[in-house]
């Protein structure tokens, strides 16, 4: 019985220690690289700016199959599961990956990209804002300063391509 307990303990410890800690994928995010579905040539030609996206969302609750060109400001440091894009008025909009199906490297920060997917304006709860602030490793004071829901653009990307 002692041997069985020891073998079971070793197997359990091996399983626990073998777990990988999640991390964003490696990569340099070079021009031409893509993540998720391939962004079509048509989408690249038709890509709009963040300002145009904001304008279109002011008259429509949701936009489907839209392409937006923007600059990446932030990438989730835990898994690469979300990014933020800089807008023309120095704001940001939030991008998640469709179906959590792909992740992006942190080297995407500062790069220009074209996103293809769906966009909408949503009210974001305090809890969700704090969660993403924690993912971004914001200071505690900044996280605690989040006290009310916020309306913002949310983009669900099916594909991302790095461009010049």
Report pLDDT digits (tens) over 107-125: 999 999 999 999 999 999 9
Between CA 12 and CA 7 the distance in angstroms is: 9
- β partners of residue 153: 121
**Tokens representing residue 161 in the block:** 């391509």
pLDDT given at position 36: 96
Distance from the first to the final alpha carbon of the chain: 65
* Domains of the chain, first to last: 33-162 (2.40.50.200)
Q: For the chain, which ranges sit under pLDDT 50?
A: 5, 7-8, 10, 13-19
pLDDT given at position 87: 83
pLDDT given at position 18: 47
The residues, ordered by sequence, that sit 6+ positions from 140 with a Cβ below 8 Å of its Cβ are: none
- β partners of residue 15: none
pLDDT given at position 107: 96
pLDDT given at position 116: 97
Between CA 73 and CA 84 the distance in angstroms is: 6
pLDDT given at position 90: 78
CB 56 within 8 A of CB 121: no
């Amino acid at each position: 019985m002692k041997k069985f307990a020891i073998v079971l303990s070793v197997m359990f410890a091996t399983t626990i220690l073998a777990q990988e800690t999640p991390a964003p994928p490696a990569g340099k995010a070079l021009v031409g690289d893509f993540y998720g579905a391939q962004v079509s040539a048509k989408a690249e030609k038709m890509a709009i700016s963040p300002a145009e996206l904001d304008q279109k969302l002011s008259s429509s609750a949701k936009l489907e199959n839209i392409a937006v060109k923007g600059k990446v400001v932030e990438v989730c440091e835990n898994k690469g599961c979300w990014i933020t894009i800089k807008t023309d008025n120095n704001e940001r909009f939030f991008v998640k990956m469709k179906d959590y199906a792909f992740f992006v490297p942190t080297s995407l920060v500062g790069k220009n990209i074209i996103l293809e997917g769906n966009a909408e304006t949503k009210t974001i709860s305090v809890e969700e804002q704090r969660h993403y602030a924690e993912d971004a490793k914001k200071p505690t004071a900044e996280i605690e300063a989040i006290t009310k829901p916020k309306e913002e653009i949310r983009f669900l990307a099916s594909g991302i391509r790095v461009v010049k």
